[in-house]
Structures are given as C-alpha cells and as structure tokens.
C-alpha cells in the first residue's frame, strides 16, 4: 500500500531534508514550505523515522480535502476509514494549525475533527463510549489555503531527541540543526573536523554519527511502534540492518573543544551515550589556544553571538581570532553559525556563501568560507 509522508523541515532546511530523502533512496519527493512530501510504503515509514538526520518529525497523511466550512471539515474527516487505523481502545488526541484559511479557530477545528472521528468509530464499533486507554495516535488537522490535511504523527518525541543528550549545556543546539550544519559543510569523514565551541558536543557527535553511518534513531523508540497495523518486525529488521551498516574503519578523528571544562565533561558523557566517544577527541581550551596540526580540515562552530550587554567586545575578539585562524590555515574551510549581524566585519572577510537559518527562534546566518 502507498502512503504519503510529510517530513517536517526546519525553516531554511527544506532542501537539505529533501536531499536526505533522496540519499535514503526515496524517489517520489516534493519540497514545500517547511515540509517535504514522500510517497512510500510501510517500510518507508519505519526507515524515515530511523534514518532522517535533519527532519523534525514524520507525519503520515490520512486525508486531504478542501474545507471552507465546519461542515466540510466534519464530512471530509468522517469520510476517512478511521476504523482501519484506530482500534476501539485507541487514544487519539487532536491538535491543529490554521494558516490563510477561513476556518481560523484552531480549537473549533480540533473539536470538529475529534467529533467526526468519534462519529465514524461509533458507527464502525457500534458504541458511543471510547475509553481511549490504548495506544496513542496523535492526529493533527492542518488548514492551509482552505485545504485541510489530516495527519498522524509516527515519530512521537521529535526526531532531534536521539536519546544521547540527557543533559545539555547553556545554549545547546538542536541535534537536527547540528546534523544539517555538518551535511551543508560537505564533510563526509574524510578529513579532520573541529568544533572549537563544542558546548554539549552536539555538532561533533552528529558528525561522528554521520561519518560512521550510524542511524540517528537507533537508540530511541517511535510512537508508531505501538500502531497495530505496522508489524513490529519491520522496526526490528530496520534496526538490525542499520546495525550492519555501521562503518567501523577509516574514520578520521573529530576534534571538539570548549573554554568551559564542565561543558566538555558533559559533551564527553553525551558522546559515550551516543556510542561515538572513541571517534571524538575532546579537550578544554580557549579558541586562541587551539592547536591545528592537519593541513586540511573543516571547522564548524556555533560561537556566542554577543547579544547580551557587555559581551560584544569579547565576541568581537573571538571572531577576529577565527579570521586569523582561517588566514593561518588556508587548507581549512570554516562554517560558522552566528546571529551576530557584524560577524563578517569582525571576522575580517565576507563569507563565500551565506544561508539564513534559525537556531531556535534566533535568526542566524551560516557563514561559509570554502575557498
């Protein structure tokens, strides 16, 4: 059977998610604002959850129809084969979103969808009372330009939750964004990689997982493992296959450091939980004391942005030091995510390429010095 999946993508990373989908072997892919659609089968649902490094979550499209009125929404929802997806004891919370649509009251839309599902299930199971104490099936109704898309979340916790970062430092970056920064740098593990502002270690750990071809979801579970119509063996088979695909040899060490010794300890513990501590060499040092021995490599970092009062001067010096390191090591490319608009001026050179990305809510640029 064919399914349409929506891999939700962080703003600015839609094309990265779409490229990942291609690399994972999906062929029917459509890129939209904030999401990538994929046509696939049940194996694809499992594979996408296990393997996507940059997508936020994987939604399964249950239905899509025009909805200008509450009646349209009710009837369109009721027409879907809910009893094929939801067992009699299923728990099915309904969340919602609405954008550029006549049906703009999200709570009202959620309640209409819930009622329509209950109506359909009542007819199918011949009962009016649903205990909702079984497996959870999170439903979402999304209205965009008066088209209702009804989806089922197959991930559960967001895909950035890989399971290794049980504690995080002061300003940790989402694992999905860290993976995207690595992928955008075109580094594949063949040269040195250094993050001199490693904090809780996210960029270095994601780089190690990527280079060793470790499926990012290998050490966590997904809500769809509880769905009755997805055979449990599909998850087991996909995990077994992923374990067989781990690359054990020819891996270049990854270097990660930070001025804060506590952060480095934490990063080390996170890397151990991710199973990549043997691939990452951590050290405590300030950027100005960094030692670079390899002739070629990639520096990826997320330094402080200096948005707080009194920090700007320190941050300016930090960026100047980065610019000097780039001049001293021309064989190294540099990829810096910063929300500081004066970054290039302080670094001393305009970036060869820039890309607007969001680190949480902060608008940043990914400054890329590749030449």
Ligand X SMILES: C[S@@+](CC[C@H](N)C(=O)[O-])C[C@H]1O[C@@H](n2cnc3c(N)ncnc32)[C@H](O)[C@@H]1O
Nearer to ligand X, 242 or 318 (CB): 318
Nearer to ligand X, 151 or 302 (CB): 302
Instruction: Kindly state the smallest distance separating residue 26's Cβ from ligand X, in Å.
Output: 29
Return the H-helix or E-strand segment holding 332.
strand 332-338
Instruction: Kindly state the smallest distance separating residue 359's Cβ from ligand X, in Å.
Output: 8
Tokens of 102: 């006549």
Coil, strand or helix at 320: helix
Cα within 13 Å of Cα(69), Cβ side: 3
Nearer to ligand X, 127 or 289 (CB): 289
Instruction: Kindly state the smallest distance separating residue 16's Cβ from ligand X, in Å.
Output: 18
Nearer to ligand X, 76 or 304 (CB): 304
Q: How many Å apart are CA 1 and CA 292, to the nearest integer?
A: 53
Residue nearest ligand X (C-beta atom)? 199
Cβ neighbours of residue 24 under 8 Å, at least 6 residues apart?
A: 47, 48, 51, 52
Nearer to ligand X, 98 or 302 (CB): 302
Nearer to ligand X, 97 or 285 (CB): 285
Instruction: Kindly state the smallest distance separating residue 93's Cβ from ligand X, in Å.
Output: 31
Instruction: Kindly state the smallest distance separating residue 271's Cβ from ligand X, in Å.
Output: 12
Question: Nearest CA to 254 among 322, 188, 199, 181?
Answer: 188
Nearer to ligand X, 136 or 281 (CB): 281
Cα within 13 Å of Cα(215), Cβ side: 21
Nearer to ligand X, 96 or 196 (CB): 196
Angle at 163 between CA 21 and CA 241, to 5 degrees: 50
Angle at 364 between CA 359 and CA 366, to 5 degrees: 100
Instruction: Kindly state the smallest distance separating residue 30's Cβ from ligand X, in Å.
Output: 31
DSSP letter at 158 equals -
The answer to whether residues 257 and 199 touch, using CB atoms and an 8 Å cutoff, is no
Give the footprint of ligand X on this chain (CB under 6 A).
169, 171-173, 196-197, 199-200, 202-203, 258-260, 263, 286-287, 302-304, 318
Instruction: Kindly state the smallest distance separating residue 333's Cβ from ligand X, in Å.
Output: 18
Q: Report H helices in the chain.
A: 14-23, 42-51, 70-78, 82-85, 106-125, 175-184, 202-211, 232-244, 261-274, 312-328, 343-347
Instruction: Kindly state the smallest distance separating residue 218's Cβ from ligand X, in Å.
Output: 20
Tokens of 119: 């109506």
What is the rounded radius of gyration, in angstroms, for the C-alpha atoms of the chain?
23
């Amino acid at each position: 059977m064919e399914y349409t999946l929506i891999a939700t993508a962080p703003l600015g990373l839609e094309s990265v998610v779409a490229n990942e989908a291609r690399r994972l072997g999906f062929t029917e892919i459509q890129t939209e604002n904030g999401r990538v659609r994929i046509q696939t089968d049940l194996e694809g649902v499992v594979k996408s959850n296990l393997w996507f490094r940059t997508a936020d979550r994987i939604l399964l499209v249950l239905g899509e129809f025009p909805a200008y009125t509450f009646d349209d929404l009710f009837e369109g929802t009721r027409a879907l084969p809910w009893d094929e997806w939801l067992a009699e004891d299923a728990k099915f919370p309904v969340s919602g979103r609405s954008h550029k649509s006549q049906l703009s009251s999200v709570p009202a839309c959620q309640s209409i969808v819930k009622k329509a599902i209950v109506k359909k299930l009542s007819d199918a199971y011949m009962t009016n009372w649903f205990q909702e104490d079984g497996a959870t099936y999170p439903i979402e109704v999304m209205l965009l330009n008066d088209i209702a898309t009804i989806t089922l979340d197959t991930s559960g916790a967001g895909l950035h939750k890989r399971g290794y970062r049980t504690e995080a430092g002061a300003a940790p970056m989402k694992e999905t964004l860290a993976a995207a920064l690595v992928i955008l740098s075109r580094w594949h593990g063949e040269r040195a990689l250094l993050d001199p502002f490693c904090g809780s270690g996210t960029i270095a750990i994601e780089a190690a997982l990527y280079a060793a071809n470790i499926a990012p979801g290998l050490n966590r579970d997904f809500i769809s493992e509880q769905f009755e119509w997805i055979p449990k063996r599909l998850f087991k088979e996909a995990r077994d296959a992923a374990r067989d695909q781990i690359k054990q040899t020819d891996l270049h060490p990854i270097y990660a450091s930070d001025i804060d010794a506590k952060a480095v300890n934490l990063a080390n513990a996170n890397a151990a939980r991710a199973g990549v501590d043997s691939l990452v060499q951590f050290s405590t040092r300030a950027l100005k004391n960094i030692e670079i021995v390899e002739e070629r490599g990639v520096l990826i970092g997320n330094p402080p942005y200096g948005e707080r009062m009194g920090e700007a001067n320190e941050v300016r010096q930090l960026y100047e030091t980065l610019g000097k390191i780039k001049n001293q090591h021309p064989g190294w490319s540099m990829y810096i995510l910063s929300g500081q608009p004066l970054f290039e001026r302080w670094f001393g050179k305009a970036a060869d390429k820039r890309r607007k990305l969001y680190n949480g809510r902060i608008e940043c640029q990914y400054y890329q010095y590749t030449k």
